[in-house]
Amino acid sequence: MKSKSFWQEWRKIILFVGFAILCLIVLYVFDVIGKIDIEAASDAVRELGIWGMVLFVVAYTIRPLFFFPATLLTLFGGYTFGPFIGTGLDIIGAGSGAVLAFLVARYLGREKMKRFFRGKKIEGFDQSIRNNGFMVVLYLRLIPLIPFDSINYSLGLSSVKLKSYMAATYLGIIPGAFVLNYIGSSFRTMDSNLWIAIALYGVMILLPILVKKFKGTTQIPLEK
Q: Is residue 77 part of a domain?
A: yes
Instruction: Tell me whether residue 223 is in a domain.
Output: no
Report whether 52 contacts 46 (CB < 8 A). yes
The per-residue pLDDT string of the chain (224 residues; one tens digit each, 9 = 90 and over) reads: 456 677 777 788 888 889 999 998 998 888 888 888 999 999 999 999 999 999 999 999 999 999 999 999 999 999 999 999 999 999 999 999 999 999 999 998 877 776 766 666 667 777 878 888 898 898 888 887 788 999 999 899 888 999 999 999 999 999 889 989 988 988 877 666 667 767 777 776 666 666 666 655 444 444 43
The answer to whether residue 222 is domain-embedded is no
pLDDT reported for residue 217: 47
- Give the CA distances from residue 78 to residues 55, 84, 86, in Å, rounded to whole numbers and listed in that order: 15, 8, 5
Closest CA to 16 of 205, 191, 187, 153: 153
Full domain range(s) for residue 31: 8-215
> How far apart are the C-alpha atoms of 122 and 127, rounded to whole Å?
9
Which pLDDT does position 219 carry in this prediction? 47
**Rounded to whole angstroms, what are the CA distances from 17 to 60, 93, 139?**
20, 23, 27
Q: What is the pLDDT of residue 224?
A: 39
Q: Is residue 47 part of a domain?
A: yes
What's the pLDDT at 77?
A: 95
Q: What is the pLDDT of residue 215?
A: 57
The whole-angstrom separation of Cα 65 and Cα 70 is: 11
Inside any domain, residue 220: no
Examine residue 105 and state whether it is found in any structural domain, yes or no: yes
221 domain-assigned: no
Domain count, the chain: 1
- pLDDT attached to residue 131: 87
